[in-house]
Structure formats: C-alpha cells, structure tokens
Amino acid sequence: MTPGPGKAALFSCISRLHRAPPPPAVSEGDDEQLSRGRILVLDDEPGIREVLKTSLETIGFEIDDVTDGAEAVKVYVDALGSSCPFNLTIMDLTIPGEKEVKIRTGRDPAEKR
C-alpha cells in the first residue's frame, strides 16, 4: 500500500514490555537532558521519520533514523557493541534493503508475529 491523500497507513508495534524504574528527577535549570532510551527508526518516507523522531525526542528518547535495511543493520550492529544499544526498533513493513535485514538477522521484516 502506498499512503497518500485519502489513503490509510498501517502501523504495527511489537515490543517486549517490562517495568522500568522512573527516570531520576531533574531540578529546574539543569541543562543535562536525561534519556528514556534509544530507538532506531527505519522508514524510507522522510515525513514519517521526521514525525516519529520529533515526537519521540519530545518525550525524552534518543532517536537514530535510517532510510534502508542495509543502513539499519549497520547502525544496529554498531550499537550492539557500544555502551548504548537500542531499546526499540520501529520499522516500516516494506523497506528498501529488506533482503539485507532478512539475511543479517535471519528474520523477515514483513513477517507477522
């Protein structure tokens, strides 16, 4: 499906939920922004990436956004080896480079769970 004026877009969210401790309180005038977590956003539509990025940053998440599967795999793997891996990945169901995601992860990104 190609979203456009008068057409709907379908979003799916698959997440492992667990209780997390509340973020520490920040006093007024404290310039340091505390992160609620790190999220990788994969979508080939710039408008969708921008809306997700802006919305999620507003509520305290760190966002990395990419446009295709090959780039997503590289960024995700690099983050796994860092001190700050991703807590969540949000992916479009049909993406450029989706074969790359399937080969590298062993999972089809379009497969429903």
**Does residue 60 form part of some domain?**
yes
Give 2-18 pLDDT, tens digit per residue: 556 666 666 665 556 55
Higher pLDDT, 67 or 25: 67
- pLDDT for 30 beyond 70: no
Phi, psi (deg, nearest 5) at residue 64: -115, 130
DSSP conformation letters of the chain: ----TT--------------PPPPP--TT--PPPPSEEEEEE-S-HHHHHHHHHHHHHTTEEEEEESSHHHHHHHHHHHHTSSS--SEEEE-SS-TTHHHHHHHHSS-TT---
Does residue 111 lie in a domain region?
no
Give a yes or no: residue 110 inside a domain.
no
HSE of 101, CA atoms in CB hemisphere, 13 A: 23
Q: What is the pTM of this model?
A: 0.60
CATH number of domain containing 60: 3.40.50.2300
Range of the domain at 59: 37-105
pLDDT tens digit string along 35-53?
788 999 999 899 999 999 9
